[in-house]
Amino acid sequence: MSDYSSELHIALLAVQRAVILTKRVFNEKAKGTVSKDDKSPVTIGDFGAQALIIKAIKHAFPKDEVVGEEEANTLRENKALSNQIWELVKGTKLDEPSSDAALGGELESEEDMLKAIDQGNSKGGNKGRIWALDPIDGTKGFLRGGQYAVCLALMVDGQVKVGVLGCPNLPVDDKEPLDAKSGEDASDGPGRGVLIGAVEGQGATSRPLGTGTLQNPSAISMRPIQDLKDATFCESVEAGHSSHDDQAEIAKKLGITKPSVRMDSQAKYASIARGAGDVYLRLPTSKTYEEKIWDHAAGDLIVREAGGEVTDVHGNRLDFGVGRTLKNNKGVVAAPKASHNEVVEAVKAVLGSKAS
Ligand SMILES: Nc1ncnc2c1ncn2[C@@H]1O[C@H](COP(=O)(O)O)[C@@H](OP(=O)(O)O)[C@H]1O
Ligand SMILES: [Mg+2]
Ligand SMILES: [Mg+2]
Ligand SMILES: [Mg+2]
């Protein structure tokens, strides 16, 4: 049986390399945004990071498939944008040549880059080895100057085996508690940037994000909370992604008085997994929206390996084996194992009272 050590190693290095690129874009005023068909934004950072990571995976594990969020169609029609991304991608490498070589080195050409982006077109499913990739999660936060994450997970037969989150704007210090402002005006200056990883059955770790070989990891775990009244809750900044009103009602029901922490991206999963916060709620805002597997795969495993439980609002585990979306689930409830049931009951009570 595989211990997934080489998959974890490649995933950590690939995310670390992609963050070199996303940080350059984050710190530029013009981030090269275009709108997708669903009107959501995508930047040169999203495309560039997807190309770099898929190149690395296909080099190390040529037979594996990838479910990536982005596709290159728009770029093939917009040469100027494609050129701009290529200028960024072609110079991006890890400082340590042997680490960069493990990822297959640089992409060969602009066409090679577009092809890599399009290799994220797997349909997903519950057979074989499939990676789920969100090159920039929290693109709206990325544009606003908030939190964002580079997210990569390996699923085997529909089960998440390896998960990695690169969070350039979170503090390196695992124990720095979240407060109501943690999601605002984020920066990637000194003391910031964390790389979280997990393998099924082997726990979760964190280490500072670097630019070459991987730094030493420390084990992370969720904070033991005696009473949910003292919990710190995280939710999306975007009210269109998760209902702030329902979450406030649930918090009230549980006796929570602290204001919620609004934060973009899977930085929420990363934060609760390392004990900087406690509970992450994502409450459906529409009957039709299906959550995307790349928005949750890495975070789901990392929180569960850190001593948490992750389910949908009905208390069912997230099902990553049914395609590119979580069509069997609604919303997300992530909490320490011992408190998870109590949170789900409060969620059911509040959402149930609104069912028509
Ligand atoms: N109506 C909706 N409900 C829930 N999630 C949505 C949504 N519309 C978009 N999203 C997803 O929310 C993600 C951001 O999550 P959060 O709100 O926690 O920061 C987006 O990821 P991207 O930024 O990668 O596109 C996008 O996939
Ligand atoms: Mg997006
Ligand atoms: Mg996302
Ligand atoms: Mg994204």
Residue 238 in contact with ligand 1 by CB distance below 6 A = yes
pLDDT at 298 over 80: yes
Q: Give start-end residues of each CATH 3.40.190.80 domain in the chain.
A: 228-352
pLDDT at 1 over 70: no
Q: Mutate which of 33, 137, 332 to test ligand 1's pocket (most atoms within 8 Å of Cβ)?
A: 137
Rounded Cα gap, residues 116 and 223, in angstroms: 39
Least confident of 33-47, 157-171, 219-233: 33-47
**In the numeric block, which tokens belong to residue 272?**
């609760």
pLDDT digits (tens, 9 = 90+) for 123-171: 999 999 999 999 999 999 999 999 999 999 999 999 999 999 999 999 9
- Nearest-CA residue for ligand 1 atom 9 is 241
Question: What is the torsion angle, in degrees rounded to the nearest 10, for the CA atoms of residue 132, residue 103, residue 43 and residue 150?
Answer: 50
Residue 311: strand pairing partners:
317, 333
How far, in Å, from the CA of 231 to the mean position of ligand 1?
A: 24
Catalytic-labelled residue, pool 43, 139, 232, 311: 139
Question: What is the torsion angle, in degrees rounded to the nearest 10, for the CA atoms of residue 88, residue 267, residue 104 and residue 69?
Answer: -80
Residue 292 in contact with ligand 1 by CB distance below 6 A = yes
CATH of domain 228-352: 3.40.190.80
Q: What are phi and psi of 307, to 5 degrees?
A: 100, 20
Rounded Cα gap, residues 324 and 317, in angstroms: 16
pLDDT digits (tens, 9 = 90+) for 8-37: 999 999 999 999 999 999 998 777 788 888
Rounded Cα gap, residues 119 and 113, in angstroms: 10
- In this structure, whether the domain defined by 5-220 belongs to CATH 3.40.50.300 is answered with no
Query: What percent of the chain shows pLDDT beyond 70?
Result: 99
Identify which has the larger pLDDT, 353 or 303. 303
pLDDT at 331 over 70: yes
Rounded Cα gap, residues 21 and 52, in angstroms: 9
Q: Give start-end residues of each CATH 3.30.540.10 domain in the chain.
A: 5-220
Q: Which string of DSSP letters, residue by residue, matches 245-295?
A: HHHHHHHHHTT--SPPEE--TTHHHHHHHTTS--EEEE--S-SS---BGGG
Pairing verdict, β 41-42 and 34-35: antiparallel
pLDDT digits (tens, 9 = 90+) for 60-84: 999 999 999 999 999 999 999 999 9
- Taking the chain, what is the end-to-end CA distance rounded to the nearest angstrom? 49
Which of these, 65, 12, 72, 7, lies nearest to 46 by C-alpha position? 72
**In the numeric block, which tokens belong to residue 262?**
């609004």
pLDDT at 356 over 60: no
